[in-house]
Structure formats: C-alpha cells, structure tokens
C-alpha cells in the first residue's frame, strides 16, 4: 500500500469521478451512497486492508512487507539500499 492509498483511506486525499446509471437503490454503487467517497475500492477500508496491516504490524508479512525507501537529501532522487552516492547528482549519502 503506497502513500496515496493511505491518504485516500484516511480521508485526506480525494480525487476522481464516477458516472453510473442505476434503476433502484439496490443497484446503486457505494460511491453514491456515502459522502466524500469517490472510489469505493481505494477510499474505503476493507477486511483485506486490515488483514494486510495486521500481518505487517506483527511481522508475518515476509517478503510482502514494504521496505523503507531512501532518498537523496540534495536532489530528492530515490536511492538503492546500498548506495553510497546519489546516481542523479553524485552527492555522498
């Protein structure tokens, strides 16, 4: 789960639009039933999201666990884990 996904689930970031035709309330998508929900899959927290978070917090995620990204302090370029110099600007990190 990336930064934009986390911000969307927290309600901080909302973007997008959805258009639909429905003939009854039963057919109405979740986006039209709730305020400030633009994309139900992205904006709403599901059981799957909770399960992934629980695995990550308990350390059972294995290779699926996100690794901390490193960035250059001078130019902001993303660095490899073992990099000693920035590949974009050449600064020692």
Give the tens place of pLDDT for each residue, 76-89. 888 888 889 988 89
Q: How many angstroms from the chain centroid is the CA of residue 24? A: 32
Domain count, the chain: 1
| pLDDT above 60 (res 19) | yes
Residue 69 — very low, low, confident or very high, per pLDDT cuts 50/70/90? confident
Most confident of 17-26, 30-39, 51-60: 51-60
Is 77 among the domain residues?
no
Is 83 among the domain residues?
no
What average pLDDT does range 49-70 have in this prediction?
75
Is 81 among the domain residues?
no
Residue entry with tokens 């050449």? 90
| pLDDT above 80 (res 55) | yes
Residue 93 — very low, low, confident or very high, per pLDDT cuts 50/70/90? confident
Is 87 among the domain residues?
no
Is 88 among the domain residues?
no
Q: What is the dihedral of CA 9, 13, 17, 22, to 10 degrees?
A: 30
Is 79 among the domain residues?
no
Name beta bridge partners: 78.
Answer: 71
Which residue range forms the structural domain that includes residue 14?
3-66
Is 9 among the domain residues?
yes
Give the tens place of pLDDT for each residue, 4-17. 777 777 767 766 77
Is 22 among the domain residues?
yes
Give me the percent of the chain exceeding a pLDDT of 70: 86
């Amino acid at each position: 789960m990336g930064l934009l996904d986390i911000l969307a689930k927290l309600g901080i970031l909302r973007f997008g639009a959805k258009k639909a035709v429905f003939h009854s309330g039963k057919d109405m998508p979740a986006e039209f039933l709730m305020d400030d929900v633009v994309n139900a899959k992205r904006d709403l927290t599901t059981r799957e999201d909770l399960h992934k978070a629980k695995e990550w917090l308990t350390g059972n995620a294995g290779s699926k666990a996100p690794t901390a990204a490193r960035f250059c302090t001078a130019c902001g370029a993303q660095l490899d884990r073992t990099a000693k110099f920035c590949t974009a600007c050449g600064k020692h990190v």
